[in-house]
């Protein structure tokens, strides 16, 4: 069972864990795959060794999970918001109590540093706690009408929601999608990324332990085919997807066939805009935070750094110095600040962007090479030295595509109009501005076409505020798209009808007609 896996985490080390438990979950328990002929290996990024085998769910299994979720939904939706809140608060407490063990398992499956993973788990329980607090406040509206009549609205759950997660924040994304859905009275069937299938089922078991009805949060494993089954299933009322723009388009198209509601949390190519009046120390810190969290595998990372000419040399010097000092290695060690990329193909993709940038005229100031840690067990891991590029232009491939790797591209900003309009050429951008002139900061933020702007900070995403570029999650946005509004109109007197005046008077004869 998953709890036994967590029990082994205090003494866990990189390269030692093998996961053999079933990774599907519905009906309140882990479920054995019906057939195991389509096994897909799941790798530990830090070592390159096989961590476990993932078996994709087929149509029958997806249908069974969705029906399990629907049965649980029928019970959950009838509970009051306060009753749901108590269960969710218990789930948050359990996660908080086991944060270190969950974080270690996340690191082994994902490759990020334990320092970051602990933050991710804290964000996870805080998300559940936040939406538990909101569950009891969801209410409709009363409207008084003429003549004593009135109307009221009911905010009702949608039903079974499908969540499709990504591999960069496996446990946190599962919480981001499930917590608001459950708070609103819905059930969820969640499909994690096939590269990080291990921790979502831990969340399912925690929800069960906390007291949700069996089946309320189900986990189905698989890739594109399993995701397609979720999008097409007639009993799924909404799909929430986190991933790439091309896949997001397919999800939207498939979901439209049965007119499902859709939330898309997609990728980006975000710019940092650094003006010469910035506080240099904070600007450099912001650049590192914007580029190198989770080995650069973050949708909102600010990988295009626009710097004004007057401060560019000083900025580059400081960024390069601190980038070279980042400690790369075993992600389970507390001193490590950069772990491994998610897979060998992803590593090769990022290295390919570096080579392409050099051919197009960019200068490599540091990094951009495969990195082999001194620990022998890490020799086959997917490590790369963090890279800083200079002399980049907007028309370069590295400045156009979402790289999803530790690659910072610095561009000279020669005019204010150019800098503030830079983000609008690409979809789903999330800019940062670094200034001391706060008036200009607000003015630029107003004119940027972007879903999220950071001023003098970066990657600060508390659950209380909406997060997103095209789609939105967190804050008070989620409950608006996870509930449907029903209007009830009540007449306290007689029914008025326009058609009565059109009807002739009817006279009934009391005698038999012959």
Residue 501 CA: distances (Å) to CA of 56, 124, 450, 463, 504? 66, 63, 58, 59, 8
Nearest to 305 by CA among 392, 234, 230: 392
345 and 259 housed in the same domain: no
Helix and strand numbers (H, E) in the chain are 15, 19
DSSP-assigned letter for residue 38: T
246 and 283 housed in the same domain: no
In the chain (514 residues long), the average pLDDT of successive 10-residue segments reads 74 94 97 90 98 97 98 98 98 98 98 98 98 96 96 97 98 98 98 98 98 98 98 98 95 96 91 91 94 94 92 96 98 97 98 97 97 97 97 93 92 54 40 74 88 88 88 85 96 88 54 50
Active-site annotation holds for 265? yes
Residue 507's pLDDT is what? Answer: 53
CATH of the domain at 181: 3.40.605.10
Nearest to 306 by CA among 205, 455, 410, 154: 410
Residue 511's pLDDT is what? Answer: 53
Whether 338 contacts 381, CB under 8 Å: no
Whether 22 contacts 55, CB under 8 Å: no
314 and 245 housed in the same domain: no
* Interatomic CA distance for residues 268 and 453, integer angstroms: 13
Domain containing residue 330: 271-455
**What is the count of structural domains for the chain?**
2
279 and 353 housed in the same domain: yes
353 and 251 housed in the same domain: no
239 and 303 housed in the same domain: no
298 and 258 housed in the same domain: no
Q: Say if 503 falls within a structural domain.
A: no
pTM: 0.92
* Interatomic CA distance for residues 202 and 377, integer angstroms: 27
**Catalytic, out of 44, 116, 129, 265:** 265
238 and 381 housed in the same domain: no
246 and 167 housed in the same domain: yes
280 and 368 housed in the same domain: yes
Q: Say if 472 falls within a structural domain.
A: no
């Amino acid at each position: 069972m998953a709890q036994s896996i967590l029990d082994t985490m205090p003494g866990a080390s990189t390269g030692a864990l093998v996961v053999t438990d079933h990774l599907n979950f519905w009906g309140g328990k882990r479920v054995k795959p019906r057939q195991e002929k389509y096994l897909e290996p799941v790798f530990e990024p830090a070592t390159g060794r096989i961590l476990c085998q993932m078996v994709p769910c087929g149509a029958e299994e997806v249908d069974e999970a969705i029906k399990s979720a629907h049965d649980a939904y029928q019970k959950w939706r009838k509970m009051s918001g306060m009753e749901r809140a108590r269960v969710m608060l218990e789930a948050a407490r359990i996660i908080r109590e086991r944060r270190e063990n969950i974080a270690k398992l996340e690191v082994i499956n994902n490759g990020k540093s334990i320092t970051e993973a602990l933050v991710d788990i804290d964000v996870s329980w805080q998300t559940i706690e936040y939406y538990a607090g909101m569950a009891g406040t969801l209410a409709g509206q009363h409207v008084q009408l003429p003549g004593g009549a009135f109307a009221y609205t009911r905010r009702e759950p949608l039903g079974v929601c499908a969540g499709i997660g990504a591999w960069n924040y496996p446990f946190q994304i599962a919480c981001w999608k499930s917590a608001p859905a459950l708070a609103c009275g819905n059930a969820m069937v969640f499909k994690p990324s096939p590269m990080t299938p291990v921790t979502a089922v831990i969340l399912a078991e925690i929800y069960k332990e906390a007291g949700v009805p069996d089946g309320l949060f189900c986990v189905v494993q698989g890739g594109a085919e399993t995701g397609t089954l979720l999008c097409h299933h007639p009993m799924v009322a909404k799909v929430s997807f986190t991933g790439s723009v091309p896949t997001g388009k397919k999800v939207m198209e498939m979901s439209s066939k049965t007119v499902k509601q859709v939330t898309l949390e997609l990728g980006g190519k975000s710019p940092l805009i650094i003006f010469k009046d910035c506080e240099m120390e904070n600007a450099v810190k912001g650049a590192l935070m914007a580029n190198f969290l989770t080995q650069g595998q973050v949708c909102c990372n600010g990988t295009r750094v626009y710097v004004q000419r007057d401060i560019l040399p000083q900025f580059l010097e400081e960024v390069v110095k601190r980038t070279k000092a980042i400690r790369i290695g075993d992600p389970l060690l507390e001193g490590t600040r950069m772990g491994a990329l998610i897979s060998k193909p992803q590593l090769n993709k990022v290295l390919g962007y570096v080579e392409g940038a050099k051919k197009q005229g960019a200068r490599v100031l540091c990094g951009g090479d495969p990195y082999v840690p001194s620990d022998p067990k890490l020799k086959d891991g997917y490590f790369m030295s963090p890279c800083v590029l200079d002399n980049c232009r907007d028309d370069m491939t590295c400045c156009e595509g979402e790289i999803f790797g530790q690659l910072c591209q610095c561009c000279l900003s020669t005019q204010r109009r150019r800098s503030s309009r830079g983000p609008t050429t690409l979809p789903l951008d999330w800019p940062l501005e670094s200034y001391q002139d706060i008036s200009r900061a607000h003015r630029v933020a107003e004119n940027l076409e972007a879903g999220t702007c950071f001023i003098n900070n970066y990657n600060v995403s508390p659950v209380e505020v909406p997060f997103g570029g095209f789609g939105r999650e967190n804050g008070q946005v989620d409950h608006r798209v996870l509930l449907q509004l029903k209007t009830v109109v009540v007449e306290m007197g007689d029914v008025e009808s326009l058609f009565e005046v059109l009807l002739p008077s009817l006279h009934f004869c009391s005698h038999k007609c012959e």
